[in-house]
Structure 1
Amino acid sequence: MPGTLIAVTMAVSFWLVSHGTSLKVTFVPGVIATWLLFVWCFQRRVQLPTVNKFLPAFCCVMAVQFVHFAEEFATDFRTDFAELYGGAPYSNDAFVSVNMGAYAVMTVACVIALMTRLRFVVVPAMFFIVYGAIGNAIAHTWWSIMLGGYFPGLITAQLYWIGGPYLLYKLVGDRRLTAIAVIGFAIVLVPLLALMADPSAV
């Protein structure tokens, strides 16, 4: 199925460009969780919400992402994140280009999925919800707890504890599934973030 191909392409790409295990313990699990959600929605024949019901909320949460990126950039997240997982710092050019490009792809994918019959294109937008929002809330909070202090991106990531689950609920229309997805992802993600980290490196 095309949606699966998109997910596989994303996971392989993140794996290959990861500095150390930084993206392997964050983005790759995020893609897997996204794919599981996509398959669940496909099997249950969950209808995507209408443009008017979903796109404004998506754009608002994406707006938070721009502010979150600004905090990360200003506090040198690209260095601490990579070094925490045994990698060399990401360059400024790569960090900015990849993030801005990803936001563009996610937004366009959301619009295409909602306004055409190419529903499988929703996968990148789902990834934004699952990892870009919910995953960021979990990861930044955990990193700060684990290190006993501020970790770059922490402050704005807290907004995702509201925005992420809300956006997921708007997408799937099921509060129980939303709660299970958030809790389940946290149960999987936190041990990965903890076990693979080298706190002495930052």
Structure 2
Amino acid sequence: MDFNITAVSCLKFSTKKDSIFMKPTFGTYNRDHLVGIIFVILLIILQTIAMGIAIIFLNIGLLVGFLFWTIQSKRLSNPNIIAMYLITVGVQSLHFLEEYLSGFQTEFPQLFGYTWSDHQFVIFNLLWLGVLIFNGVGVYYGIRLSYLLVYFFVIVGGIANGVAHPLLSLMKGGYFPGLFTSPIVLFVGVVLLLKLSKNQHSSLDVS
């Protein structure tokens, strides 16, 4: 009799424990949003100070990514997207290399009346790549805040990048730095977005 009571108690505790890790409380959900808002505002301020007005599209992407992130499921899970996420970061690294070697740091900000130095451009991109790689740890463990950067990365680093470079090349009437790798960036961005969408629907079904 005592054994049965103990077993039932352990089962209840285990179920309760699992629910804590799988689904955040309402307070945690609100706290995540508050941290996300502060994070986005700080990033917009810091990016603008560091890189000037030409960074406006990244700032818009942060806001759009935040909107996508806020409507995702509250349910925490361990989505099977980490491999695709890291592949997308790797492709973005190649895209950055093409941009740097072909002079994106000069041509793009010239559209806004100034240029970036090589050092400025390299440091900015390496910092972002480092953040995205480190963010993969949070993605792997299903930390909800990590998905804010994932959505931003998909929207700006993947889809917007992949569309913008061909358009800039058309406007220029020739090659614009970053054009060659932009279709690959677009492809992996779309694939990652589809995986995110699939994971979102799966989470809703389980909930």
Output the TM-score relative to the length of structure 2: 0.74
Alignment of 1:17 onto 2:50: yes
Change (3 A) 1:124 1:157: same
- The answer to whether the 8 Å contact 1:49/1:170 transfers is no
How far 1:23 moved relative to its partner?
Answer: 0.6
Q: Any unmatched runs of 5+ in structure 1?
A: 177-202
2:96 is matched with which residue?
69
Give the counterpart of 1:29 among 55, 60, 69. Answer: 60
Counterpart position of 2:106: 79
Q: Which has the higher contact order (CA 8 A, sep 6+)?
A: 1
Q: What is the CA–CA distance in structure 2 between the aligned matches of 1:136 and 1:6, rounded to whole Å?
A: 22
2:74 corresponds to which of 25, 36, 45: 45
Structure 2 portions without partners, runs of 5+: 1-33, 202-207
TM-superposed deviation, 1:63: 1.1
User: Match of 2:62, as an amino acid?
Assistant: V
Structure 1 counterpart of 2:124, which letter? V
| Equivalent residues, number | 168
Percent of aligned positions that are identical: 26
Runs of 4+ with deviation above 3 angstroms? 46-49
Q: Which residue of 2 aligns with 1:134?
A: 159
CA RMSD of aligned residues (A): 2.1
Q: CA deviation at 1:66?
A: 1.4
Q: Please name the residue that 1:58 is paired with.
A: 85
Task: Measure the CA separation in 1 of the matches of 2:66 and 2:126.
Answer: 23
Aligned CA distance change for structure 1 residues 132 and 56 (closer, same or farther; 3 Å): same
CA contact (8 A) 1:30 1:131 kept: yes
Shift of 1:149: 1.3
Aligned to 1:107: 133
Q: For the pair shown, which has the larger CA radius of gyration, 1 or 2?
A: 2
